[in-house]
Amino acid sequence: MLRWGTQDTLSRYRAKEPGLVSSARDEGDVKVVLLEYAGAPQGVVSFFLETNTHRATRDDMFARIDLVIVPGSNRGHGVARALVLCVLGYLLSRCADRLYSVSCLAAHDAIEKILRDEGFVTRAVPDQQYTHAELALTGQSRNRLRDQMTGSAARALRALNYHLRQREGRTGRQAVNDKNLGAAREPSRRV
C-alpha cells in the first residue's frame, strides 16, 4: 500500500541514513510517500514542488525528488524504483501542465540508474557526493511521459508485490512484519 507519510515518518527514515541531505528549503512543503507491505514499512520518498517566479509562462513549476530511503533489508526488490515511479506518475498526472522540470540530486548509484532508465539526463557534480538528474518537460512530452510513468509505476508495483510475496513465502509473514522500523503505525491515508 502507498500512503502519505508525515515529517515524523521521514525523520525516522532519515535517522537510519544520516548522510543524506535534503535540498528542501522548507520542510512544510515536502510531501512524503510511504510504501508498506503486509503492514510493514518498506521505504519512503519525499518530494516538493516550487514555483519559479522568474518564469513568465504557465509552466512555471519544477519538482524535486528529494530523498529516497529504503532500509538495507528491503533493498534489491524494487522498492526505490516503485516509489520514484509512483511520485513521477503523481506529479505528471496532477501538475504536468505547470511543470517544466523534475530533478533529483541522486546520492546513490541505484537512484541514478532508475532516473536514467526513465529518461532523466544525468551529470556528475564536481566535488560532490551526488549526481544531478533532470527530466525536462515540454508541451509535447507531458502526456506521453504521464502515460509512460503511470504504466511503469504499475509494472514496478506488480513486480515489487511479486518479490515481496516470494520473500514472504521463504521467511513467513511474521519475518516481513518484523522488518519495520519499530515505528508505531500511523493512520492510513492512501495516495
What are 92-137's pLDDT values in tens digits?
999 888 999 999 999 899 999 999 999 999 999 898 888 999 999 9
User: Residue holding cell 518498506?
Assistant: 42
| pLDDT band (50, 70, 90) for residue 182 | very low
Dist CA 34 CA 43 (whole Å): 6
Looking at the chain, the whole-number percentage of residues with pLDDT higher than 90 is 52
pLDDT at position 122: 94
Dist CA 33 CA 47 (whole Å): 9
| pLDDT, mean of residues 5-34 | 87
By CB atoms closer than 10 A (0-12, 13-18, 19+), residue 3 is middle
| pLDDT, mean of residues 30-45 | 94
Instruction: For residue 147, give the C-alpha cell.
Output: 502515460
Q: In angstroms, what CA-CA distances link 29 with 38, 64, 164? A: 29, 11, 32
Residue 19 Cα to chain centre, angstroms:
18
Dist CA 45 CA 24 (whole Å): 13
Mean per-residue pLDDT of the chain: 85
In this structure, the chain runs to a length of 191
End-to-end CA distance of the chain: 9
pLDDT at position 155: 94
